[in-house]
Amino acid sequence: MSNNDTATMTEARDESLPEDDARRPVKVSIRNLYKIFGEDPERALEKVKAGMGKPELLESENHVLGLSDINVDIRDGEITVIMGLSGSGKSTLIRHLNRLIEPTAGEILFKGDDILGWGQGQLRELRRKNMSMVFQKFALLPHRTVTENAAMALATRGISRSEYEDEATKWLDRVGLGGYGDQYPHQLSGGMQQRVGIARALASNSDIMLMDEAFSALDPLIRTDMQDLLLELQGELHKTVVFITHDLDEALKLADHLVILKDGSVVQQGEPQHILLKPNDPYIEDFVADINRARVLRTRSVMDKGVPKGEGSGDYAGDVDQNDNLESVIARAEGAMDKRYRVMKDGKPVGTLKMTEIMKALVPRKVEG
Amino acid sequence: MATYDGLFDALGLRAWCDKGADSGPMSMADLLAKTKGDGAATVSAWDTPFPSLDALHDACMAIPQSRDLTQGLESGFLGIRDALRWVIDPITQPLSWMLEDMLWLMTQSPWWIVMPVLFAITWLVSRSWKIVGFVALMLGLLAFVDHYHEAMQTLAIIFVCAFVCVLLGVPIGIAMSRNDKLQRFVIPILDMLQTLPPFVYLIPLIFLFSVTEPKLYGIAIILYAIVPVVRLTDLGIRLVDKDVIEAADAFGMTNRQKLFGVQIPLALPNIMAGVNQTIMMSLAMVVIASLVSAPGLGVLVLRGIRNLELGVGLVAGFGIVVLAIALDRVTKASLARIDASQASR
Ligand SMILES: Nc1ncnc2c1ncn2[C@@H]1O[C@H](COP(=O)(O)OP(=O)(O)OP(=O)(O)O)[C@@H](O)[C@H]1O
Ligand SMILES: [Mg+2]
């Protein structure tokens, strides 16, 4: 990854990103991607580039603007969450990553190589080895057993049953489905079926997992379970995950990098905490207005950076970790407004947190101007 | 003279009309008109004939009569018959052999071998002793009233024809499901095959093949019965859940893996429903095909009609119903078995 690239990337994003740990290398990079559905997308593309929006394009040209000038970097080992309302183009975007949908214009760079130039064979290799997918409606093969479903990627590569069985069983055990291998999908509940879907993606041993509203069809309790499972697996395996959701709580829980789509364009992307504190669009404000900020915001996003040298640590009411949420700090202070805490990262002080700052952060900010 | 004389005079075509005057023999109607004299020269407006070929011919000899059309078709068909035969004969010859061999096998083997084999097949496809018992009862009944031989002939023909229908129909259906252009082209043909009265197939076939050849009725049955299996294969594959196909693509399956690993297995219930209908339609056609020498129960029905032998016709008709029910039960049972093993919805 060249310096040049990094520069353009940070530019595309917000300048005032909170200081980040040394960021991981970019794995897949989407550049100036456009997708237009209709008879003559090329002609419609001209109009879109000249500034026509989604509603006008539909009205005057009868073409649907699926995606418009998308630039996103997907980093190795991170969970990139794409969020937006229904019809904003999330599914369309994620299907470009493994080219289930052909773009109208743009580039998709996989480790620096544009996959749009790839032939069928190369593409198949990519789908078999590098990218696996989890679907909203599970999309399991109804006529195959759970084990056979979990091993779909392996069987597709031509590996025989005796060889893939152990691998498939291992991943089924890992997602908590040990012993269900000989059942058929319709014999399982929705949550269990989606576990099979996840086991199928994991068993393919791909480094990238694409998840299109993978948990949207599940009830809230199972959904929380699955989110925890995903985070747990992620802590172990460090996959590159692209996760789609229209649920902000889910997005904030999972995301390392959050991309917000509206009508086929990116309205804001960056660290979720940052988007929460500094929404740059009324659309996002509406989105974030209703969430429990105390539970989502972390001390590191609110603190004043740096520890003043001269003052002794006696001044502080105590130490908090940089990843603690505000709720836990408020609970510790028992509501007292005059305290301040030292924020620690890996045992070293990195900042100061005043209770007054916490209170300010709890009120959603309006976009200036 | 004739009603439309004035028309041709007015158009100045009289000379052209009269050039063709003496061509062609007179029709019976002409002769009748001649003998009656020219009394009918003045026709009232009420009786004005439709300007059909025949009416125009009366006024202008150069215009052909309707019978020339039918004759033209016939001579045209006879003209290409030899060429057609030269192509179709060798292709369809295996059908004759299959029919002959199957008929020989099923009628010449002793009943105590054929019937157990049929029961075994029933067990294999339906996995239900109830169905096997039912089939045994039905066949036993037919054999008991001495219709065993004819029933076996009918069954032999149905087995061969349904087998050929599946052999040709499933690949055609698969090809249609993958190619919209082909589908648009084939569907009207299927519609035509399904709406033409079955007797109509027989007409050109009789001219093409001699009545003694089994393939004559074989082809008629196959043309009639192949439609549902083609249609339902096409439909079945098109109806396979789009999400599952997308998953297959997303995991890098080749087209071949997708077809044999996903599409055909998931379309199987529909394909089997098509096979069931194909078998039932073969049975319907095998009766009509006795008009062109297909052996079996149909011959007895025909005898009943021709000789007014009410009892013979009714018993044979009842035999056909019995066969139909047995075949339907067996194929439906196997269909249910497939459905149960992949109850996905
Ligand atoms: N095959 C297609 N033909 C025409 N328009 C399409 C097609 N696929 C998607 N679209 C349009 O593209 C837009 C984005 O659709 P997409 O499915 O990506 O939305 P989404 O964000 O995934 O929504 P949801 O949350 O409902 O899944 C929609 O306006 C949709 O109408
Ligand atoms: Mg979607």
Average pLDDT, integer, range A21-48? 88
Interface residue of A141, A157, A164, A183 to substitute, partner B, most B CBs within 10 Å? A141
- At residue A299, the pLDDT reads 85
Check pocket membership of A92 for ligand 1, CB cut-off 6 A. yes
Contact A153/B252, CB-based, under 8 Å? yes
Q: How confident is the model at residue A93 (pLDDT cuts 50, 70, 90)?
A: very high
What percent of chain B has pLDDT above 70? Answer: 91
pLDDT at A22: 57
pLDDT tens sequence across A151-208: 999 999 999 999 899 999 999 998 889 899 999 999 999 889 999 999 999 999 999 9
Tell me: the pLDDT tens digits for B130-185? 999 999 999 999 999 999 999 999 999 999 999 999 999 999 999 999 999 999 99
DSSP string for residues in A168-233: HHHHHHHTT-TT-TTS-GGGS-HHHHHHHHHHHHHHTT-SEEEEESTTTTS-HHHHHHHHHHHHHH
Q: Bigger pLDDT: B24 or B19?
A: B19
For chain A, the average pLDDT equals 86
For B205-224, what is each residue's pLDDT tens digit?
888 888 888 989 999 999 99
Alpha-carbon distance of B315 to B311, in angstroms, equals: 6
Nearest to B252 among A128, A139, A186 (CB): A128
**Mean pLDDT, rounded, of chain B:** 88
Picking from A139, A141, A184, the nearest residue to B246 by CB comes out as A139
Whole-angstrom distance, CA of residue A307 vs CA of residue A322: 13
Alpha-carbon Rg for chain A, nearest whole angstrom, is 23
CA distances, A199 to each of A133, A147, A154, A173, A221 (Å): 11, 9, 12, 9, 20
Residue B241 near chain A (CB below 8 Å) = yes
pLDDT bucket at B15, cuts 50 / 70 / 90: confident
Give mean pLDDT, residues B221-242. 95
Question: Which atom of ligand 1 is closest in space to residue A90's alpha carbon?
Answer: 21
In this predicted structure, what is the pLDDT of residue A12?
40
Closest-CA distance, B277 to chain A, in angstroms, reads 24
In chain A, the residue whose alpha carbon lies closest to the alpha carbon of B242 is: A139
Distance A44 CA to ligand 1 centre (A): 17
User: Which residues in B lie closer than 8 A to residue A186 (C-beta atoms)?
Assistant: 343-344
Percentage of chain A beyond pLDDT 70 is: 91
* Centre of ligand 2 from the C-alpha of residue A81, in Å: 13
Distance CA A338, CA A23 (A): 36
3-class secondary-structure state, position B111: helix
B110 vs A: CB within 8 A: no
Q: Where on the phi/psi map is residue B147: left (φ > 0), alpha (ψ -120 to 50), or beta?
A: alpha
- For residue A87 and ligand 1, the question of a CB distance below 6 A is answered with yes
Instruction: Look at B202 and A180; give whichever has higher pLDDT.
Output: A180
Name the residue in chain B with its Cα closest to that of A150. B251
Collect residues with CB below 5 Å from ion ligand 2. Answer: A 91
What is the rounded average pLDDT of the residues B62-87?
A: 87
How far is it, in rounded angstroms, from Cα A111 to Cα A28?
6
The pLDDT, as a whole number, for residue A53 is 84
Top pLDDT among A142 and B35 is at: A142
Instruction: Give the minimum alpha-carbon distance from B251 to chain A in angstroms, rounded to a whole number.
Output: 5
Chain A's closest residue to B258, CA to CA, is A156
Please say if the pLDDT value at position A118 is more than 60. Answer: yes
Ligand 1 centroid to Cα of residue A263, in Å, is 10
Q: Is the minimum distance from the CB of A84 to ligand 1 under 6 angstroms? A: yes
pLDDT at residue A368, rounded to an integer: 56
Helix (H, G, I), strand (E, B) or coil at A117: helix
Question: How high is the ipTM of this complex?
Answer: 0.83
User: pLDDT band at residue A363, thresholds of 50, 70 and 90?
Assistant: confident
Rounded Cα distance, B59 and B6, in Å: 8
- Contact state of B250 with A127 under an 8 Å Cβ cutoff: yes
Residue recorded with tokens 């905490």: A273
Q: Does B272 touch chain A (CB under 8 A)?
A: no
Q: Which of A124, A137, A140 sits opposite B254 (nearest CB)?
A: A124
- What is the percent of chain B where pLDDT is above 90? 58
Segment among A132-146, B59-73, B238-252, B308-322 with least mean pLDDT? B59-73
Q: How far is CA A225 from CA A57, A180, A220, A250, in A?
A: 42, 19, 9, 12
Above 90 in pLDDT, residue A337?
Answer: no
pLDDT at A8: 40
CA distance B252 to chain A (A): 5
Ligand 1 lined by A41 (C-beta under 6 Å): no
Residue A237: burial class (beta carbons within 10 Å; 0-12, 13-18, 19+): middle
State in Å: Cα A90 to ligand 2 middle.
6
**Quick one: pLDDT at residue B22?**
56
Mean per-residue pLDDT, A279-307: 83
Query: pLDDT at position B4, please?
Result: 82
For A64-88, write each residue's pLDDT tens digit: 999 999 999 999 999 999 999 899 9
Distance from C-alpha of B154 to C-alpha of B107, rounded to nearest angstrom? 10
Whether A321 shows a pLDDT value over 90: the answer reads: no
* Ligand 1 centroid to residue B72 C-alpha, Å: 59
Closest CA of chain A from B339, distance in Å:
10
pLDDT at A135 over 90: yes
pLDDT at position B34 over 90: no
Kindly state the average pLDDT of the residues A226-232: 91
Of A153, A185, A186, the CB nearest to B251: A153
Q: Which residue in chain B is spatially nearest to A203 when comparing CA positions?
A: B251
Mean local confidence (pLDDT), B318-327: 92
In this structure, of A275-279, A306-310, B94-98, the range with the lowest mean pLDDT score is: A306-310
What number does the ligand 1 atom closest to the CA of A89 have? 18
Q: Residue A63's Cα: distance from chain center in Å?
A: 29
Please, which pLDDT band fits residue A344 given cuts at 50, 70 and 90? confident
Q: How many CB pairs under 8 A join A and B?
A: 64
Chain B positions in Cβ-Cβ contact with residue A132 (cut-off 8 Å): 250-251
For residues A84 and A248, what is the distance between their CA atoms, to the nearest angstrom? 9
Check residue B259 and report its DSSP letter: I
pLDDT at A13: 40
Report CA(A67)–ligand 2 centroid distance (Å).
13
Model confidence at A11, in pLDDT bands (50, 70, 90)?
very low
- What digits encode the pLDDT tens for the residues A242-266? 999 988 889 988 999 999 999 899 9
Residue A125: list chain B partners with CB under 8 A: 252
Q: Do residue B244 and residue A142 have CB atoms under 8 angstroms apart?
A: yes
Find chain B residues with C-beta within 8 A of A131's C-beta: 250
Residue B343 has pLDDT above 70, yes or no: no
* Buried-exposed string B107-127: b where 16+ CB fall within 10 A, e elsewhere: beeeeeebbeebbeebeeebe
Q: Is residue B70 over pLDDT 80?
A: yes
Report CB contact under 8 Å: B251, A133: yes
Using CA positions, which residue lies closest to atom 12 of ligand 1?
A66
Q: Which two tokens stand for residue B222?
A: 């196959």
How many Å lie between the centroid of ligand 1 and the Cα of residue A89? 5
